[in-house]
Structure 1
Amino acid sequence: MAVIDEADTTSVVVPSLFNYPPSSLPEELSYLITSFIYTHDHGKRSKAFLVLASYCQGVRASAEPARDGTQDPGTQMLSRIFLPVVQARVADTQEADVLAGLSFLTALFQVDWQTAAEVFRHEAVLASITDILDLYPSELVSREAARLFSQACGHKACRSSLPIEINEWLETAVRQKKDLPLRAIAAVAITKLSRGAGSDGLVESANVSKRLDLAELMKAIIMGEGQDSSLHAVEGLAYLSVEPIVKEDLSKDTAFLKKLFSVVPRSRGTSGTLSDMSNHSLIYGMLNITYHLSAYRPPLSPDQEQIMKLRRMTKSGTTNAQDVEENPADVLDDDPHVKERGRNLVKNGALDILANAIRLADSVGIRITVGRILLNLSVDKENRGKVLQSGGAKTLAEIIRKFFSATTNPAAGQSEVDVSILEPIQALAKLAITSSPTQVFGPDPGAIYDAIRPFAVLLTHSASSLLQRFEAIMALTNLSSHGVEAASRVAHAEGLLTKIEFLMLEDHVLIRRAATELTCNLVAGSENVFKRYSEGNPAKSRLQILVALSDVDDLPTRLAASGALASLTSSPDACRSLYELEQSNHRVLPVLTTLIAPLSGSNEPYISTPPDHAMVHRGVVCIRNFFINLEPNLRNRVKETDLTDLINGLTAIMKGNTGKAEIIQPTAEVLKSLMDLGVVMPGI
């Protein structure tokens, strides 16, 4: 059968494709059957993939919706179209037709796996493919068959249908040493088959020794020459590297890591042959291996930990949860082991190739994987400086920028943001927490301002974890300290203030502390936030929360809350609201007193040490502002309150802070104000 040329693939097939009813194979499409043979020109195969994908999508779009309990109509229609074509080819007596049938079905797995699986599992097709292994022992046919099995073994439906003859053939193909590419492809198929068998419930446990042998084989292939073989070996290791024992082995092999990372040129001006799809796949596989080696085990809730213990008890036969030892595989995935693997990756050049990987093989999948790798490596604080030196912050900012620029309607709200971008944002947040904004984003303030929206998304997204929200708050706190303009922009981020005020009431101490510290920065730096907390009736409840947080047992939280109050009490409106709160619950002045004299009038067990210098400073400023900025008629009423503890505290400050003008001056001013009101000052 004639093979359509490159021009015909795009100019003839695509326009007329959908003019045919999806019950028969269009004549133009029939020529594509021969276009996927692996030895053909890459450009032609790429266009053929595009046409095949378009046709499958068109047929599925025209199919009626599936009814409950019935097979997908789109899959049924496509299977009826492609089954006769594939069946005729794989049963043919000509090797060229057999190659075409095998390669087309392999391509169909990559375009529409449901249809491909249906065709592959057909009794006649499987029988013909099994016969091919004996009838056509040529290198080309063997490799094409192995590629097909590698695709099929990635799907449960096909694994369960695989004849024993194909399993045996794959084992033989892996053991032979004459055809290295065949060996690599067969190893990938066996890897998928063995890993899938465990998840399918076909075997109770994995053969660890066999998987280590496969990993060693693939490492040897990668260390040798031959890009085609390396591509398959990298794909196989991408599957195997989820195993803790394989991760440990790979991460300690310095020569292997350097060879693995060498698939990406270090120089920006060098692209080599990395412009085609096969090399894009090579880069993607390399990144997946790196990701698996650097990935930390997700934290388990107490309930999940108990379930894991019960499962281990069931397997070990013990009846006591205390007697259950941790699985060795679990030990290899604990934080110290992952941290050491991450340091080995950094030491051997993992950070140096990430930006170039995106430049040479840009796609959403590549970007997200690079972001996840940078997140994993940034968990270890020792790596963060190296991440910054390698341009990791710039890479993350570019990943995030491209994501948001591709969003259909960026202004529509955070609900449209896909959860996949949260990890790259979290990676950038980690860097922004431990370094100054200028170190992370450079001297251009625009880059700092651009980071505000992603951090706000990380904070407010419904799928964000508590850790991600905490790190988003910390990063925003750091940005808001960069200046008034930065604080103002943070305050204007959609949904941020409401979320922060909610988290200020969080039971988790670190979350509550971080939210209060950000509020303190925004009160001091944003005029709108200052008004939000000082003007109008709603401000009274917000002030009440700050007063309450100034009396908690966590010192950093008290410092942040009282710092916000020190700024807000410069407003007469805020002082009036505090006066009203004092009249209603009699807690404002006692709390302010504990800031300067924690031992006075407090029954709290945590208040047992001398006052903190920073706390005293905030306290005297709050008290000074309260009495000076309060309206005269209200100030006169305050003197009717029992001010003994307050006066004693102020007096002690005057005697014990000689030379500290920042404390002595506001203390003297408030004492004078009280004396002007006629309040008696014992000892003065």
Structure 2
Amino acid sequence: MATVAESTDALQQQNLSRDDQTLLLFAGLMEGGKEDDETVRDLDQLTKLLNDDVEATSKGQSSICTVIDGDCVDTLLCYLDMRQQDVVRGHATLATSAYLKASGDDGSKKLSEFFYDRVKRGTYDDYIVAFCVAGVIFPIVPDLTAELFLSEGFLPSLGPLMRRKWKSRKVETACLEMLNAACMHTACREGVQKYCLEWLEEVVDQDPEEVVRDMYAANPDVNLEEGSISMRRHSEQVQHLAAVVLAKLKATQPPKSTTEITGERVEQATTSIEDLSKMFTKVLISNPEQGRQSSVEGLAYASLQPQIKEDLARNKDLLASLVKTLQDAPPKSPLTYGALSIFVNLTRYQPTQSEEEKRISQLKAYANAAGKIQPQPLNDDKHVAARCKRVFEAGITPVLVSHSKNGSVASLTLIISIIFSISVTTSLRGQLAQQGAVRLLIDAWDSLPATETQTKRMAAQALARVLISTNPSLVFGGTRPVPQSAAIRPLTSLINPDPAADTRDLLPTFETLMALTNLASTDDDTRRSIVRTAWTDIEEQLLSPNNLVTKACVELICNLVQGVDALQLYADGSVQAKNRLHILVALADAEDEGTRSAAGGALASLTAYEPVVQAIVSRERGVENVLGLCADDSEDLRHRGVFVVYNMISAEGETGRLAREKVKQENGVSILTECAKKSRRAEVVEITVQAIKILIEQV
């Protein structure tokens, strides 16, 4: 006769109905005594049946959930018990999620019945299962679990349970893991604050060794074994978990409690967020293997506080331990996410505010502080920059590069945020490039889905910052070079301001234009790629109301016209080319010196071509603007202006003749003569003299 396991193996070969397959799988799960891999296989097949059931019922078929009774649900949920192997719990979680999705209200009802029944029984074993189930399903069905969690009398009952004289460490651990998960829900967090705060502080404050000494003093013959319910003290693991829950409460809302403590304790515990942070720090430095996960999770919340950020960032041993923790953490694990969250908190700058937003913030501060504005100095740019430098010096970048290769979208978002903040500091950008940040940012931008718009923009802006301050030939060289062309699409995606932003932030536009300018100084292939990818967007920024953006845009064009593709856009003699040239000539007369210089540099290259000279001569004030460069106080600008004039009047044929006449009409000889007198550099004087000779000698 075939065993249940053998029958389960043959499910795919048998022509069984979906209901029969479901019942057979549950029979195997109820059987017990099997190897973990067999249990995992059955759970996976059940998950598949339940996932397929959603589609089947949408087509009018009956649901397999009709054959899943309370005993079946009880069997499935018991595999979420913390005493199961982690691999079994993980696959049981997927199966439970699939069941709740497929079963709808009926599944919610059965889950509620299971929870209330187990809590009502009140044995240690039932508490463990109920708490474990609640902790696991909180992220899956938060509203339903919150309803169970906040049911009348449940939260107040936890204090007496945790204060029992004989401790069950598994019950305490399961309870605290449930509370930890519940703190993600606002109403549940408030409930925990109201009913559990004081006994949580009792757990954290208890000195285990002192408890043991008191017990020996009372009864020297007492036998203290390390069993589940053998001692009157909380374990260190339980204390760490309680500390994590406390950290979440204290980091996210002001303390408040209406719980009254019975017994001998009179003075209320006042464990501060600083005390908790020191506890987590001590564990990570001195004994990381014992409490790494809980300490990292606790610090992820504690580090939301400005003072805690400063304390953590100044502790070199802790930063080294956190970097090592992140380095050893498995990809996509809670430990990875927690460690990354700490570094994000340490390095995050305050968002840029418009003048209107600053004014509103001040008004709110007046209202909240009775007329006193109380800014938080530890969150200002100076302090954040110092923290970023310390985090970078701890060796975070290579670890981030490693994790980025296998990370989830969530962890990749955190990694990009850290690099983004560090890249604000100009002096660190070259080292970021050396340690692999450029490839990280390009690969992240390429791999992130289109829906992650803000994260992609953040990656592109961090990339722009690094490329502004580094030599492209060094960044894109080496033994495993990143193609320079790979950076162009991320960079050009930032040229237009974010359409989804409430305020118009032009800093990303400015930084990406500067980075593209740097790249455009290298070779024709790069210039060609920039022109073909983003020329229309680049032209739009020429007319930006922001002078810095306009200047950066003209500087980029100055480099682009060294290549054939951009050159043709100005020199093909078309109406569009003339219009473009008119804008460039007008910018040669801009108020900003940098803009005039860039426009003059571009014209110095373009005026080597006859159609460009013709367009300038025919444009009203075209020659006048060029001669204005020759009269500028800056010798660099005079050099560029004289070079443009020399190109124009040296043109052959009718074009050259018209250019010379126009320059003379605009008092060009006098302006050039004065330019020669003011200039001190030989190359400027030489070309000016040559231009004057051409104007005098030729008609």
TM-score, normalisation: structure 1: 0.81
Q: Does 1:531 align with 2:587?
A: no
Distance in 2 between the 1:97 and 1:526 partners?
Answer: 78
Q: Percent identity?
A: 26
Contact (CA 8 Å) 1:109, 1:117: kept in 2 or not? yes
**Cα separation, partners in 2 of 1:177 and 1:616, compared to 1, 3 Å:** same
**Cα separation, partners in 2 of 1:452 and 1:109, compared to 1, 3 Å:** same
The within-5 A match list for 1:204-603 is 210-225=272-287, 227=289, 229-265=291-327, 274-275=329-330, 280-318=333-371, 326-327=374-375, 330-358=376-404, 362-403=407-448, 418-443=453-478, 447-460=483-496, 461-463=498-500, 465-493=505-533, 496-528=534-566, 530-532=568-570, 534-582=572-620, 587-598=621-632
Distance in 2 between the 1:634 and 1:346 partners?
Answer: 59
Distance in 1 between the 2:662 and 2:412 partners?
Answer: 66
Q: Does 1:625 align with 2:641?
A: no
Task: Tell me the alpha carbon deviations over residues 41-99 of structure 1, each in whole angstroms, 9 at most, x when there is no partner.
Answer: 2222222222233344556xxxxxxxxxxxxxx6x665334212222222234433322
TM-score, normalisation: structure 2: 0.79
Amino acid at match of 1:513: K
Q: Secondary structure at the match of 1:482?
A: coil
**Cα separation, partners in 2 of 1:150 and 1:16, compared to 1, 3 Å:** closer
**Cα separation, partners in 2 of 1:519 and 1:226, compared to 1, 3 Å:** closer
Task: Tell me the alpha carbon deviations over residues 137-179 of structure 1, each in whole angstroms, 9 at most, x when there is no partner.
Answer: 4110111111111111221121344484433332222222431
With 484-493 and 42-51 compared, the bigger mean Cα shift is at 42-51
Amino acid at match of 2:277: A
Task: Tell me the alpha carbon deviations over residues 441-480 of structure 1, each in whole angstroms, 9 at most, x when there is no partner.
Answer: 3257762110111111122353573211111111111111
With 455-464 and 145-154 compared, the bigger mean Cα shift is at 455-464
Q: Does 1:34 align with 2:78?
A: yes
**Cα separation, partners in 2 of 1:663 and 1:491, compared to 1, 3 Å:** farther
With 221-230 and 477-486 compared, the bigger mean Cα shift is at 221-230
With 33-42 and 76-85 compared, the bigger mean Cα shift is at 76-85
Q: Secondary structure at the match of 1:397?
A: helix
Distance in 2 between the 1:517 and 1:91 partners?
Answer: 75
With 552-561 and 343-352 compared, the bigger mean Cα shift is at 343-352
- Give the unaligned 5+ runs of structure 2: 1-29, 54-62, 209-234, 259-268
Query: How far off its partner does 1:214 sit?
Result: 1.6
The within-5 A match list for 1:47-196 is 47-58=91-102, 79-123=108-152, 126=155, 132-133=161-162, 137-162=167-192, 164-178=194-208, 179-196=235-252
Task: Tell me the alpha carbon deviations over residues 319-378 of structure 1, each in whole angstroms, 9 at most, x when there is no partner.
Answer: xxxxx5643xx111112211222222233333343223445x622222221221122122
**Cα separation, partners in 2 of 1:578 and 1:627, compared to 1, 3 Å:** same
Amino acid at match of 1:291: V
Q: Secondary structure at the match of 2:528?
A: helix
Query: How far off its partner does 1:10 sit?
Result: 1.0
Amino acid at match of 1:590: E
Give the structure with higher Rg (CA).
2
Query: How far off its partner does 1:489 sit?
Result: 0.6
Contact (CA 8 Å) 2:303, 2:342: kept in 1 or not? yes
Query: How far off its partner does 1:248 sit?
Result: 0.9
**Cα separation, partners in 2 of 1:48 and 1:209, compared to 1, 3 Å:** closer
Contact (CA 8 Å) 2:149, 2:155: kept in 1 or not? yes
Distance in 2 between the 1:526 and 1:116 partners?
Answer: 65
Query: How far off its partner does 1:37 sit?
Result: 2.4
Task: Tell me the alpha carbon deviations over residues 509-558 of structure 1, each in whole angstroms, 9 at most, x when there is no partner.
Answer: 22121111011111222424532565311222222221121112222211
Distance in 2 between the 1:140 and 1:658 partners?
Answer: 85
- Give the unaligned 5+ runs of structure 1: 60-73, 266-270, 319-323, 408-415, 599-608, 678-684
**Cα separation, partners in 2 of 1:658 and 1:356, compared to 1, 3 Å:** closer
**Cα separation, partners in 2 of 1:85 and 1:658, compared to 1, 3 Å:** closer
Amino acid at match of 2:353: L
Q: Secondary structure at the match of 1:46?
A: helix
**Cα separation, partners in 2 of 1:226 and 1:527, compared to 1, 3 Å:** closer
Distance in 2 between the 1:453 and 1:447 partners?
Answer: 12
Distance in 2 between the 1:640 and 1:165 partners?
Answer: 88
Contact (CA 8 Å) 2:193, 2:249: kept in 1 or not? no
Contact (CA 8 Å) 2:642, 2:687: kept in 1 or not? no
Q: Secondary structure at the match of 2:325?
A: coil
**Cα separation, partners in 2 of 1:86 and 1:316, compared to 1, 3 Å:** closer
Contact (CA 8 Å) 1:37, 1:99: kept in 2 or not? yes
Distance in 2 between the 1:441 and 1:637 partners?
Answer: 44
**Cα separation, partners in 2 of 1:417 and 1:564, compared to 1, 3 Å:** farther
**Cα separation, partners in 2 of 1:309 and 1:365, compared to 1, 3 Å:** same
Query: How far off its partner does 1:234 sit?
Result: 1.0
Task: Tell me the alpha carbon deviations over residues 642-680 of structure 1, each in whole angstroms, 9 at most, x when there is no partner.
Answer: 625311122344566698457634752574256432xxx
Taking only aligned residues, the RMSD between alpha carbons, in angstroms, comes to 3.3
Q: Residue 412 of structure 1 aligns with which residue?
A: none
Distance in 1 between the 2:153 and 2:619 partners?
Answer: 84
Task: Tell me the alpha carbon deviations over residues 214-264 of structure 1, each in whole angstroms, 9 at most, x when there is no partner.
Answer: 211222232342546221121111111011111111111222222222214
Amino acid at match of 2:618: E
**Cα separation, partners in 2 of 1:198 and 1:463, compared to 1, 3 Å:** farther
Q: Residue 43 of structure 1 aligns with which residue?
A: 87
With 336-345 and 460-469 compared, the bigger mean Cα shift is at 460-469
Q: Secondary structure at the match of 2:444?
A: helix
**Cα separation, partners in 2 of 1:211 and 1:636, compared to 1, 3 Å:** closer
Distance in 2 between the 1:24 and 1:316 partners?
Answer: 61
Distance in 1 between the 2:312 and 2:348 partners?
Answer: 14
Distance in 2 between the 1:656 and 1:127 partners?
Answer: 88
Query: How far off its partner does 1:486 sit?
Result: 0.6
Amino acid at match of 2:668: L
Distance in 2 between the 1:658 and 1:238 partners?
Answer: 61
Distance in 2 between the 1:670 and 1:215 partners?
Answer: 76
Amino acid at match of 1:139: R
Distance in 1 between the 2:185 and 2:662 partners?
Answer: 80
With 90-99 and 434-443 compared, the bigger mean Cα shift is at 90-99
Q: Secondary structure at the match of 1:154?
A: coil
Q: Secondary structure at the match of 2:522?
A: coil
